[in-house]
């Protein structure tokens, strides 16, 4: 699977300033803004015709915009209802299939909720389902990275150590690191340079130096409480220390894609890119 050269900044979905809310127009706007990536948001369902996927691929290749994709929110690989687990597996696989047709590089999903189960039990269930997803995609020749995301709420499976363990245990899997979620889940931690750097140190130690050259990341401002994430906000309206983040990204020579999930998506993508470029 392909690697990305350098660190690319992008938007979660079509930029707000795009004249039309279509994926093709979004890619064009991303390029006009001076950004380099866009995440296709299939969060409400995976719907895209083969014809449109081909057009998206063509335009993204022509304009040199890297595409990632976000699977539907309704994924729970730990549901007590086996039918819902099967539907969740299908949603992740469908996202990967469409992303691949679009020329996409990496697919991110929220794996599960703990429910009343022990975290170790949930981990084994998620791992079992993820192995099926990866094997199924490989058998179909669908070559995209599949990435479980660090979750923002305490009820959600997916702390930093859990997604790292999944990546160690399932081939073809690497984590999607959401810095805002990690900050919210730990009730305001991971907000100093040393704390943010510790994420990269852990990834390099557990997954190898290559992991830092192949990163899919999310960032935004965030409001949080005792149970973790409340809502995403713009960087300047939050306590998130993005200056420390860009310094750590630079110091650890991180490569890959970092996607803005702030409400003003392209505003914060440009803000972070400018802060990074100024170092």
Q: d(Cα 223, Cα 230) in Å, to the nearest integer?
A: 5
Confidence of residue 240 (pLDDT cuts 50, 70, 90): very high
97 belongs to a structural domain: yes
pLDDT of residue 7: 98
Tokens 């994926």 — which residue? 23
Q: Grade residue 16 by pLDDT with cuts at 50, 70 and 90.
A: very high
CA dihedral for 176, 177, 183, 186, sign (positive or negative): positive
Does the pLDDT value for residue 1 go beyond 80? Answer: no
pLDDT digit string (tens) for 145-176? 999 999 999 999 999 999 999 999 999 999 99
The crossing angle, in degrees rounded to 10, of helices 23-33 and 50-63 is 10
Q: Is residue 1 part of a domain?
A: no
pLDDT of residue 146: 97
Residue 27 belongs to some domain of the structure:
yes
Q: How far is Cα of residue 153 from the mean position of the Cα atoms in its chain?
A: 16
Cα separation, 92 vs 111, in Å, equals: 9
Residue 155 lies in a domain: yes
Tell me the per-residue pLDDT of 36-94, one tens digit each, with 9 for 90 and over: 999 999 988 899 999 999 999 999 999 999 999 999 999 999 999 999 999 999 999 99
Range of the domain at 79: 7-277
pLDDT for position 26: 99
pLDDT given at position 34 = 99
Handedness of CA 126, 128, 131, 136 (dihedral sign): negative
pTM over 0.95: yes
The β-bridge partners of 156 are 113
Convert the pLDDT of each residue in 183-216 to its tens digit.
Answer: 999 999 999 999 999 999 999 999 999 999 999 9
Tens digits of per-residue pLDDT, 82-136? 999 999 999 999 999 999 999 999 999 999 999 999 999 999 999 999 999 999 9
Task: For residue 229, tell me if it sits in a domain.
Answer: yes
Residue at 2 is within a domain? no
What total of structural domains would you count in the chain? 1
pLDDT confidence bin for 250, thresholds 50/70/90: very high
Give the separation between CA 223 and CA 217, rounded to whole angstroms.
Answer: 19
The answer as to whether 120 is a domain residue is: yes
In this structure, is residue 188 part of a structural domain?
A: yes
pLDDT attached to residue 2 = 76
CATH code for the domain in which residue 71 is found: 3.20.20.150
- Distance from CA of residue 144 to its chain's centroid? 13
């Amino acid at each position: 699977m392909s690697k990305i050269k350098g660190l690319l900044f992008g938007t979660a979905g079509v930029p707000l300033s795009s004249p039309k809310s279509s994926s093709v127009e979004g890619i064009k706007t991303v390029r006009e803004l001076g950004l380099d990536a866009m995440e296709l948001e299939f969060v409400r369902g995976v719907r895209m015709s083969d014809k449109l996927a081909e057009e998206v691929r063509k335009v993204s290749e022509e304009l040199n915009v890297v595409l990632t994709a976000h699977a539907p929110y309704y994924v729970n690989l730990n549901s007590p209802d086996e039918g819902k687990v099967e539907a969740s597996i299908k949603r992740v696989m469908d996202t990967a299939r469409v992303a691949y047709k679009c020329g996409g590089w990496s697919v991110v999903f929220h794996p599960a909720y703990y429910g009343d189960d022990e975290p170790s039990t949930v981990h084994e269930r998620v791992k079992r389902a993820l192995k099926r997803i990866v094997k199924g995609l490989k058998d179909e020749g669908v070559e995209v990275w599949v990435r479980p995301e660090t979750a923002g709420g305490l009820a959600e499976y997916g702390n930093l150590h859990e997604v790292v363990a999944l990546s160690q245990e399932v081939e073809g899997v690497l984590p999607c690191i959401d810095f805002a979620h990690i900050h919210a889940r730990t009730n305001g931690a991971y907000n100093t340079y040393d704390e943010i750097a510790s994420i990269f140190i852990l990834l390099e130690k557990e997954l190898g130096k290559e992991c830092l050259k192949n990163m899919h990341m999310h960032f935004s401002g965030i409001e949080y409480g005792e149970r973790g994430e409340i809502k995403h906000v713009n960087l300047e309206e939050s306590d998130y220390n993005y200056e420390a983040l860009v310094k750590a990204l630079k110091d650890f020579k991180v490569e890959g894609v970092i996607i803005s999930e702030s409400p003003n998506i392209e505003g914060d993508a440009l803000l972070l890119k400018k802060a990074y470029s100024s170092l």
